[in-house]
Each structure stands twice: as C-alpha cells, then as structure tokens.
Structure 1
Amino acid sequence: MAFDDLRGIVPAPVLGRRPTGAGGESERHSVDALVARVAELQKKHRERLAREKLPGAPLLRDVVQLPHWPDFVRGVPNGFLRSALFGAIAKGRRRHMSGERVTTLDGLTIIYTGERLDQGDLDVLESLLHTVRLQALGVACSVTSYALLKLMGKTDTGKNRRVLHTCITRLKANAIEIKQDKWSYIGGLIDKAYKDSDTLGWVIVLNPELHTLFAADQFTLIDWNVRRALTGKSLAQWLHGFYASHAKPYPMRMETLLTLAGSEDESPSSGRQTLRKALDALTAASEAHGQPFSYDIRGDLVHVDKKPSDSQRRHLAKKADGLRKRHL
C-alpha cells in the first residue's frame, strides 16, 4: 500500500503529529507508533479484501516475480552454470541439437532442442532476467536495444545490435527440459520476443514457471564486474559461473571440467593448456574486483580456493550445524 493510500484510513492527527519536548525520544516513539499503526491498517485492509472476494467476482491476481537482486550481480539458475548448456564453444557455425541430453553435474538433468548456446547467449539472458526481475513474470517487458547493450557493457553500434538480435532469436527458438534438485521446468528460455513497431524496442515475455529455477539455494548471484572483465574469454566466464555456484568447490579432473564446459577441443594437451590460461584469467579478474580466487593443479586434479558469498557462508554454516546434530 502506498503512503498516499493511507490518507483517509490513518487518522489525520497520527499523520500530522509533531514530537513534543526537546529530546528525540518522543519523536522516536511517535514514529514507532505510526509504523505499527500503518502495519496494522495494511493487515486489516488485506483481510477485508480477502473477505470481499464474492463468487463470480474477479480474484486478486497472484504476482509471480524473480528474486530482487542488486544491480552489481546477475541471478542465474545453478543448472545453467553447472552444465554445458551455455558452453565455452568456438565461434562459427553452431550445431543444432534435437532432444539431446546436455552434459551436467550429477543431480542435474537437461534435455535441449535448438541451436547450441554459448556464453554470449548467457550474457543476453542474464540481462533479460535482470530487467524482468523488476516486474511480474508473464507480463510484457519493454526494453530498448540500447538499454540491453548498456547493461552488458557494450556500445550501441549496428554490429552489436545485430548480434543482440541473433542471440534473442536463438534464445526464443529452443526448448529445454531441466530438473535441478526437486524443481523442474519445461519450456523455452524466452516465451515471446518481438519488436515494437512504434519504438523499435524489444518486448520480452518470460514464462512465469521459470521462477521454479530460482527457488532458495537453486540459483547463484554472479558478480557482474568479474564476468564483464572476462568478456571474450568464454571458458574463463564459464569457470567463473561454475565455481561461483559452489560454496566450497571440491577437486575436479581437468578433463571433467572441459567436458562440463562443452569444450570442443579434441586435443587433450591443448585443452589443458586452454584451461590453465582460463583459470589464470579468472584469478586475475577476481583479485582485481576483491573476490579472492586461487587454484592449484596437482596431477590431473584442479583444486580451487575461493571466498564464499554471504549466502554461501550461511549455507555452509547450516550444513555444518546439521552434520553436528546428526552426530550428537
């Protein structure tokens, strides 16, 4: 309920009351009383609306939204980050997949139909999710090419607009079946996409059921500054997302990481060299933006040490507490 909506509901003396005395204590109590009164009136207002929903009357609309994350991060479902769905693939002609199972970590299942997706496509999808998070899913969201390119840190040129158009088209022309933990989703990554004939801006609609992939502990907030610093380094971007989705990464074989990233390098030695360079780039970009990240390769295993986010630290603490209780 907006503040103006309270006029006529909140008694005028409450809204206009001035603190008495020279001290701030009376003022604080007045503010506390107003906050409590407003909360009470809002509750009564909701209860009245619920009581007055008569048979045949339109029901209040259930609004489905994505979580509201801050501007310096991007929210991404873990399934997108722990698989080869948005692969670190070479530029050029892309293979079309038809109902193929995508390489994923254990516990994930992704079946995909459409042209192969890469990290550039993920940049566009992240920007669309970032924009749409401010409103209800399933509702048309109008956004200009300029705004999307600016969100991605790109200049507004004809070439970049054409690339953006191609990515949005590719994200629309696909079908995905994904199951992560107990949550699943079947549909397209973009439900509808078209150009406004008057403004020539984009109108985007995302399926409301996408919210199932953003359940608690099922998505990761990606540091956008680090990802942007890795633009053009697709494997480093993939590694950044993959390790960001883990509170405490466990050692993984180099070959496994390359396969999960969707690498198309058929030479084992070349693949390992590319992986080392990507890890070096990720280390440098993370350090430059205050996100400590380091790695060590022992034999064929990649060991990573990183600073977990606040939510990941809470997850680790909760997990440790659960283990402790089970052993009591």
Structure 2
Amino acid sequence: MTATQNSTLTAWPKLPLPHGLGKNFVTAHALARSAIFSTQSYCKKAPRPQYSSKTKLGATETSGIEVFQAAGQGLDQGDAEVFYELLRRVFNSGHEMHREAHVCFNRGELIKALGRAAGGKTRKLLDDSLDRLFHAEFEFSVPGIFIGKSRLILKMYRRECKSTTEYDYDVLLDVELGRLFESGQWTLLRRSELQSLRGNPVAQGVYAYYSTHRSPYPMRPATLQVLMGRDMQLSKFVKVLIPALAMVKQATGWTKCELELTGKNAGKVVVEKGERVKAPASAGKTKVPAPVAGEASCGPYGDI
C-alpha cells in the first residue's frame, strides 16, 4: 500500500507534549504547507476535482516539499478539520510508538467535538468527508523525512444501520503518515482559534500555513494562492485574502498579518507573530465577508 525510502518499520511518534494536546489539533508541516486541503468552497458551481492520475499540488518550494494526489476527490478545509480531529485522537490515545492506532467513534459524538450543530445533513456531510479522506491517495517527497505513497485513512469500518456494535466508525489512519511528524516537522493548531475562523476557508488555510512558521518570510499573494489551492483570478483572490488575513490576526493576536501596500514589502503578505496578544472576545464573531463576484458561495459544514 505504501512505499518508503527505507525498510524501517514505521510507528506513530511520541511528540514532546508534556501537557498533552488537550482539545487542540496537531498537523504535520507537509499537510499544512501544501494544497492537500484546498481553501476552495466546493459545490455545484465549483465541483470538486477528481484525481485519476498523479497530479502535483501546490506546496512550499523553499522547504523542498512536493505533494501529489493520485486518486480520490479534492479535499477542503472541512475535511481538514475532520482529519485533524482524527490525528488528535491518535496522539492522545497513548498509542504512540505503535504501528496501529484505531480511532473509534460515534457520529454524534464526533460532530459535537468538532463544534458542529447536530442534524441529519451534518451527519451526511461527516460521512462524505470520511469517504473522501479514505479514497484520497497521495505521494510525498519531504527531504530527509519521507519519500513515498500514503493514504490518509488506510482502513475504515462503518456500522450498518441495524448493527449493535458500540461505535459507528472504526478508522485506521495510515501509519506511514507518522513519518511526516519526524524531526520536529509538526505544529499545534489551537482549536479555539481555528474554529473561530469557520466559515472562511481561506482564513483557516492561512492560519494553518503560518502556524507552521516561527518567523514567516514575506510572500506574494500569487504564491500563497497556489498553496491555498485556489483556482481563480489573482485579483479576486486578493479580495478574498485581505479580509481573511484580518480575521486571522484578530483570532490569534499576531502582531501583523496583512497585505502591505507600502514600504520594502509592498505587494507582499507579511506575518509577524511577536508576543501573542489575547484576541478580543468578539474574535470568534467576525462577520464572514460575502464571496467576491464569480466565486461560488457554498458552506462545507451543514447545519451550522
């Protein structure tokens, strides 16, 4: 199923988290610094891409990361949130250093943990998201860490309607993904901050990307657009990006998170973290800007 650069058996690594993850998420740099989880809002007007052959996804060139999707549908930020929760449970389960770590759960319990409203539509969206995560296949090239193929979900058992089993789902994540967390190539994502950005997938993608950098370098919007997996005119992306950056700054308390218009970095996105300033109570209530002309408006989270 997978191919790696050496014959060493892979196991889920034990991350140096003396206080655990709590309710926070964790992700590998290769996942957050590439367009695996697009910030596109998919719907009838903007259908998901279907991959049937090896296709390169946008990734940070300076880090040498290359990611290809070989099968499955395109994934979005709603899928990312579900997958981050599955990863959180793997690392919180006490199964570090194990080759297999099953994640068992009920739909309603997982939906509640994600902060999504209960409802049949939301359960259907969760099922669809898990199916996409199961069928997606990728090839990674992360220098010095992992070169090979991987699925996100290796096996998945879903309970039939009349089954009397305790859980709705028994999910087995591909242990080869554990290689992506080696050599400190991972970062924490604060659940409260990420969920305060819900409704703006660009803000969610920007937050995850810049969370993997201590001192981000200035970046042109065109470069960031590729990393965010947005296929649209650059001018329209900039209109979406500017309010998304403001939302991230408000949610995180970062010193600067904006597209500079003057000075040596004019025309570039500049993020400076500095000392974290507690975001105001209204950070999670930021009004989501309306989509720009020509961009489909669709929500990935269902009954919310």
1:170 and 2:132 equivalent?
Answer: yes
Residues 1-328 of structure 1: matches in 2 within 5 Å?
64-65=12-13, 67=15, 69-92=20-43, 93-97=47-51, 98-106=53-61, 107-113=64-70, 114-133=72-91, 134=93, 135=95, 136-184=98-146, 185-196=148-159, 197=163, 198-266=165-233, 268-287=234-253, 292-298=255-261, 299-307=266-274
Q: 1:271 to 1:63 in 2, by over 3 A?
A: closer
Report the CA distance shift for 1:286/1:96 in structure 2 as closer, same or farther (over 3 A).
same
Aligned-pair distance for 1:296?
A: 4.6
C-alpha distance in structure 1 between counterparts of 2:182 and 2:274, whole Å: 23
Closer/same/farther in 2, CA of residues 144 and 283 from structure 1, 3 Å limit: same
CA deviations on 1:190-227 (whole Å, 9 max, x unpaired) are: 00111233235110111222211111321111111110
SS at match of 2:183: coil
User: Residue 259 of structure 2 contacts residue 269 of structure 2 at CA under 8 Å; is this kept in 1?
Assistant: yes
Partners of 2:48 and 2:112 lie apart in 1 by: 26
Look up the match of 2:292.
none
Q: Which runs of 5+ in 2 are unaligned?
A: 1-9, 277-304
Secondary structure, counterpart of 2:153 in structure 1: coil
Q: Could you say which residue in structure 1 is the equivalent of 2:294?
A: none
TM-score by length of structure 1 reads 0.70
For each residue in 1:129-158, what CA deviation from the matched residue of structure 2 results, as whole angstroms up to 9, or x when unmatched?
111221344243321112221221112321
2:25, 2:191 within 8 Å by CA — same for their partners in 1? yes
For residues 66 and 208 of structure 1, the distance between their equivalents in structure 2, rounded to whole angstroms, comes to 13
The alignment covers a number of residue pairs equal to: 245
Distance 1:301 1:229, change over 3 A: same
Q: Distance in 1 between matches of 2:56 and 2:275?
A: 30
State the Cα distance separating 1:112 from its structure 2 match. Answer: 0.6
Q: Indicate if the aligned counterparts of 2:13 and 2:181 stay in contact, CA closer than 8 A.
A: no
Task: Say if 1:74 and 1:222, in contact at 8 Å, map to a contact too.
Answer: yes
- Mapped partners of 1:118, 1:153: distance in 2: 17
CA-based RMSD: 2.1
TM-score normalised according to structure 2 size: 0.75
Provide the C-alpha distance between the structure 2 equivalents of 1:65 and 1:186, rounded to a whole number of angstroms. Answer: 19
1:15 paired residue number? none
Structure holding more helix per residue = 1
Q: Is 2:39–2:77's contact at 8 Å kept on the other side of the alignment?
A: yes
User: Is the CA contact (8 Å cut-off) linking 2:11 and 2:178 kept in structure 1?
Assistant: no
Cα drift, residue 187 of structure 1: 1.8
